[in-house]
Structure 1
Amino acid sequence: MNEAKNVVQKNFSVEDAQELYLYDLELADVTVNQGLTIDEEFGIMFATQVYNGFDGKQESFIVSRTSLGGKLKDQMIVRNGGHGTSIGIEKESGRTFLWSNMIEVDRNDNIRTQWLCRVPYVANTTVDIHHSSVQKIKEFPNSNIYQTPFSDSKNNLLALRITERISGKLATRIEVYKINDAKNQRWENLLHSFSFTPEMNSQVLQGLAIDNNQFYVTFGQSAHDFHLYRINLSNGTIMEEFDHAIGHSPDGEYVRGFGEPEGLYLYTDPFTNYKTLLTVIVGDLAGRRRQRLFALSSNIGVQKFLGLAGESVQRVPLTRNDNKAKRFDMNRITSISQIREPGSYYMTTVEGNTLSDHPKKNVAGWWLYVSGGDSGSGINYGCHQLLVRNSVVYAEVYSRVVPSTGNPSAWKEMEFK
């Protein structure tokens, strides 16, 4: 009884899910994230984006390989790979293989046919369907049918999302196979299939994820219209839905008015078996997109990601939380050279007058900008200081270096011509 209860507590429950922002993913390009998958054993993420570095009629995508904490390691480009909506991964003999759609084009760069392909991930390379490492698995010659794979590698599962246009309307279905059956083209060994409902087919498809016999799919052109379904593939039943906006920034808005749900992955901790649903909500303007990773969590498994998020936080604030400059503790500070913590500071005329090494007292308030420290050890480091007068009439800036030991250099006024 206790064992069964423990399993339930570790599973992901849509009904009990809480939304948490974790951190931004460092991806190789500035375009919108498309797909997300994770090597859970080694803590490696693979995230896709459209890649616009080629001339031609067909889309390509780039795969970023990052740490579980979202730090970019390297990348791989799949030319004529399509939009990069989703990819699958597989481990074999210590190597990672990507499963992807690839397009074969004619001399006019029009689509000749499409293939489900398998290719080893090799950092900082570019492949297309003619590359010697690419294994063609299954052809999709009908241009009205589009497919993308996604995977649950811990359970040796590969899922195919297959979308076709029937009587002018889109119809999507999911097919699930053992990866070994897919590699050997044993398509008769279909494990599960699920056809989207008319309501699903009418929405904008975004994220796809599978965990054993549980299928997760998200819809919504905007994160304001975020709609998550959990489906039991064993019987085709929609088990749970999550239908409300997510991904807002602290001001209650989307970053620069843009919020789009993209990559989706159901993460299972390989040591504790706690499950956390991860999704990317892309924000900010074109050319500078932020790939913001969110968790939908119903258990303590999310603490692993919160720990990683804590590692990426800038522990020394450069300003106050209200965006104003930091202030001195005038009961402790008697000279500007004592200020070595990086950031921007402000001192009033009265405060500046009390500091022994102020270069020009009794005229105005001043901003002080302190650089990060040099290569000194511990808290014994040197820094650079800039002092800027608060005036719309006089442009006065003083500069100096405060070394780790010894006296600071003299203030030098910077000249503007």
Structure 2
Amino acid sequence: MSTPLSRRTALRMTGAGLLGLGAALALPAADASADVPASQRFDLSQPSTERFRSVSLHETHHAMQGMAYDNVNRRLYIAQIQNGSDGDDLCVNELTIEGVLTGHMHVSNAGHGVSIGVEPVGTSSYIWMECDSDAHSDAGRGTALARFKFVDGATPSSVQKFLTGSKTITCATDPANNRLLVRRNEGGSMYYSLFPLADAAAGDFSSPLAHFPQPALGSGSVTFQGYTLLGSYLYTLDGTGHEDPADIDSYVTAIDMNTGTVVQRSLTKAGETLFYREPEGMMVYRTVGGNLRLCFGFASRPDMTSLERYASVYFKDVLI
């Protein structure tokens, strides 16, 4: 008599031999398949707290995009478009969690930087981000993932590239569980795929822990602005920039990666007094004391005529 397959075993069989260094993800037969250990999630209805407000990044004329935090080496990384770029050349800023700029790297022909990840390796931080943009313009988006060591003032060297030939690909990292979440266009729809970070760094994408389509966010179209993950939950940020705080439309959403369904969606007015506040980027940060925080960023400006852009970060920290 045959032994019934577990969901993880079935998922391994679906993807085995089809994924690898430079290979594209094959779509599982089902819309959603996952086997991620259940975890607590952040309560998005709770108030937000300011981490830092209105700091200048290395590229003064462009808004912040994705962000990630190295919880081992205590470094924050924020992506943004380079000054003078055609639109797809990015800058990765290094900061303290208090918002003090400590370094930067320029990454050419990368994409838009909606989301990035970071992997601590000893005393070094390795950046995960999109690369090989499909257009030298603001419309350019990554077609592969790059992994490289952050070196202040340098350009990436010894770059590993994964999942080449993708469309609109980005990623995020779970610092508590050492996982990599990949978001990309598959067959005209956005899908998420979750992997052990060590497997991904070794070029092994054969055993996704989860693979599911992005669920609808709200009742109509939304402007997607970032995502992150912790445990079995994905968190997304969407909304547009507004001069009038009364028009704020920024939402944080929690999605169960085992079912691919929205479990909570909450309007956030964090940083509502920022001028032309626009939601940008998400990450999970662990304090020195071990508390986990769901962080999300906002770009702002001094006034509507200024080219200068600021970055601010807020967080929620109540787990349920």
Which amino acid is 2:182 matched to?
L
Q: Deviations over 1:374-414 (max 9, x none)?
A: xxxxxxxxxxxxxxxxxxxxxxxxxxxxxxxxxxxxxxxxx
What residue number does 2:116 align with? 87
The answer on whether the counterparts of 2:110 and 2:133 sit within 8 Å (CA) in structure 1 is: no
- Alignment map for 1:232-251 (pairs within 5 Å): 232-249=256-273
Q: What are the superposed Cα offsets for residues 225-248 of structure 1, whole Å, 9 maximum, x if unpaired?
A: 111111121232322111254321
- Report what 1:307 is aligned to: none
- SS of 1:175's partner is strand
Q: Which has the higher helix share?
A: 1
1:225 to 244, 249, 270: 249
Secondary structure of the corresponding residue to residue 140 of structure 1: coil
Query: Do the aligned partners of residues 64 and 268 (structure 1) sit closer, same or farther apart at CA in structure 2, a change above 3 Å counting?
Result: same
In 2, Cα distance between equivalents of 1:21 and 1:13: 17
Which of residues 153, 157, 164 is equivalent to 1:139? 164
Any conservation in 2 of the 1:221–1:261 contact (CA below 8 Å)? yes
How far apart, in 1, do the equivalents of 2:278 and 2:198 lie?
Answer: 34
CA change 1:297–1:156 in 2 (3 A) is closer
Q: Please tell me whether the aligned partners of residues 229 and 241 of structure 1 are also in contact (alpha carbons under 8 angstroms).
A: yes
Distance 1:291 1:104, change over 3 A: closer
1:214-363 matches, within 5 Å, as: 214-222=233-241, 224-249=248-273, 254-255=274-275, 258-269=276-287, 271-272=289-290, 274-284=291-301, 285=303, 286-298=306-318
> Structure 2: how far apart are the matches of 1:237 and 1:114?
27
Measured in 2, the distance between the counterparts of 1:125 and 1:225 equals 38
Task: Identify which range, 237-246 or 176-185, moves more after superposition.
Answer: 237-246
Secondary structure of 1:264's match?
A: strand
**How large is the RMSD of aligned CA atoms in angstroms?**
2.8
Matched, 1:175 2:205: no
Does the CA-based 8 Å contact 2:63-2:80 persist in structure 1? yes
- In the alignment, which residue of structure 1 is the partner of 2:92? 63
- TM-score by length of structure 2 reads 0.75
- Mapped to 1, the partners of 2:283 and 2:143 lie a distance apart of 25
Specify the SS of the correspondent of 1:181. helix
Which residue of 51, 58, 64 maps to 2:82? Answer: 51
Matched-pair identity in %:
22
Cα separation, 2, equivalents of 1:204 and 1:96: 30
Structure 1 residue 48, shift from structure 2 partner? 0.8
- Matched position secondary structure for 1:18: coil
- Map of 1:73 onto structure 2: 102
Bigger CA radius of gyration: 1
Quick one: distance in 1 between partners of 2:83 and 2:223? 23
CA contact (8 A) 1:146 1:164 kept: no
| Aligned amino acid, residue 240 of structure 2 | Q
Distance 1:226 1:161 in 2: 20
Q: Which has the higher contact order (CA 8 A, sep 6+)?
A: 2
CA distance in 1, matches of 2:52, 2:117: 23
Gap change, CA 1:99 and 1:135, over 3 Å in 2 = same
How high is the TM-score relative to the length of structure 1?
Answer: 0.59
- List per-residue Cα deviations over 1:318-343 (Å, max 9, x = no partner): xxxxxxxxxxxxxxxxxxxxxxxxxx
Please, which of 205, 208, 216 is the counterpart of residue 187 of structure 1?
205
Q: Does the CA-based 8 Å contact 1:60-1:84 persist in structure 2?
A: no
- How far off is 1:41 after superposition? 2.2
CA distance in 2, matches of 1:237, 1:164: 18
Query: Counterparts of 2:42 and 2:216 in 1: how far apart (Å)?
Result: 26
The residue type equivalent to 2:294 in the other structure is L
Cα deviation for residue 20 of structure 1 reads 2.7
Matches within 5 A, 1:360-375: none
CA distance in 1, matches of 2:48, 2:134: 43
Distance 1:21 1:120 in 2: 29
* Number of residue pairs the alignment of both structures matches: 268
Superposed displacement of residue 28, structure 1: 1.0
Runs of 4+ in 1 over 6 A off after TM superposition: none
What's the counterpart of residue 72 of structure 2?
41
Distance across 2 between alignment mates of 1:265 and 1:202: 23
Deviation at 1:94, TM superposition (A): 2.8
Distance in 1, matches of 2:116 and 2:184, equals 13
- Give, as a single letter, the amino acid of the residue that structure 1 aligns with 2:278: E
CA distance in 2 between counterparts of 1:197 and 1:149 reads 17
- What are the ranges of 5 or more consecutive residues in structure 2 without an aligned counterpart? 1-38, 243-247
Residue equivalent to 1:207: 226
- Residues 69 and 244 from structure 1, CA distance in 2 versus in 1: closer, same or farther, beyond 3 angstroms? closer
Distance 1:133 1:192, change over 3 A: same
Distance 1:37 1:199, change over 3 A: closer
Q: 1:159 Cα shift? A: 0.8
Specify the alignment match of 1:393 in structure 2. Answer: none
1:13 equivalent to 2:46? Answer no
The superposition leaves residues 255-311 of structure 1 with CA deviations (integer Å, 9 ceiling, x where unpaired) of 1xx110002112233533x22221112112442222122223438xxxxxxxxxxxx
Give 3-state SS (helix, strand or coil) of 2:199's partner.
Answer: helix
| 1:126 shift after superposition | 2.2
| Native 8 Å contact 1:76 1:125 kept in 2 | yes
| 1:12/1:275 contact within 8 Å kept | no
